[in-house]
Amino acid sequence: MEQLLSIQSIPMKFELSVTPARMEYTAKRSEIMQKRIPGGLEIQNDPAKLFINTRSARDSVSPTLASSIRNFAQKGKQSGLDATAQFAMEGRQLLDAKPGDDVLGQIIAQRNAAPIGDFQLGFIPNVGPEIQYQEPNFQMRYQADKLQFDVRVANGNVHYTPGDVSMNITQWPDVVIKYMGRPMYVPPSAVDRFEASA
């Protein structure tokens, strides 16, 4: 069986530009005590997800072996219950029979009666596929580096440049679904006629 759907998941692409923190000091004599608390960048990216379940639709067209066994078992159980009810009703009629009543004729007529009921026209597949869609989720948490320092300067200047992180998103996540199948004709011999007229 050829593949009917082509599902392509396009991941997100991004570029990070990191500028580290910098401290410049111009002097001949200095005392610097510093403590660096590292930061971090946390990114959580959950792409979109598409779940398609066609099991019920396939079972309505061409049941699997397990489904066929289950359906036949259910029909057999129902037939057994119906036969038990029929025999109980016929036994009740025989018990209540009076001399001269044609009970056997009535029972035979009931068994040979034409079936009655509502007959419905159905189409297959009678159940569509189950489709579930999960939206994408993108979360980002950034904490810059922290510097704790104590500068004791005799003479000179201290210049501190804090760090910087910039992010450029070049491509957003996406899901591309393409139908790759061809039309199905009934009867299959009609395919040549339709392709010739196209």
Bridge partners of residue 2, in order along the sequence: none
Residue 195 pLDDT: 59
User: What burial letters (b/e) apply to 120-149, b meaning 16+ CB within 10 Å?
Assistant: eeeeeeeeeeeeeeeeeeeeeeeeeeeeee
* Cβ pair 34, 191 in contact under 8 A: no
Round to whole Å and give the CA distance between 67 and 124: 16
Residue 120 pLDDT: 64
Stated as kind and residue range, the H or E segment containing 82 is: helix 65-95
Per-residue pLDDT of the chain (198 residues; tens, 9 = 90+): 567 788 899 898 988 888 888 888 776 666 777 788 888 888 888 888 888 888 888 887 777 788 888 888 988 898 889 889 888 888 888 777 778 777 778 888 877 776 676 666 767 777 788 889 888 888 888 888 887 877 676 666 778 888 888 888 898 889 998 888 777 777 777 777 765 443
Residue 196 pLDDT: 46
User: Which of 141, 137, 132, 140 lies closest to 172 in space, CA to CA?
Assistant: 137
User: Which of 113, 116, 108 lies closest to 90 in space, CA to CA?
Assistant: 108
Residue 30 pLDDT: 62
Q: At what angle do helices 65-95 and 103-111 cross, to 10 degrees?
A: 160
Instruction: Note if the pTM is more than 0.75.
Output: no
Residue 54 pLDDT: 84
* Matching residue, tokens 């759907």: 5
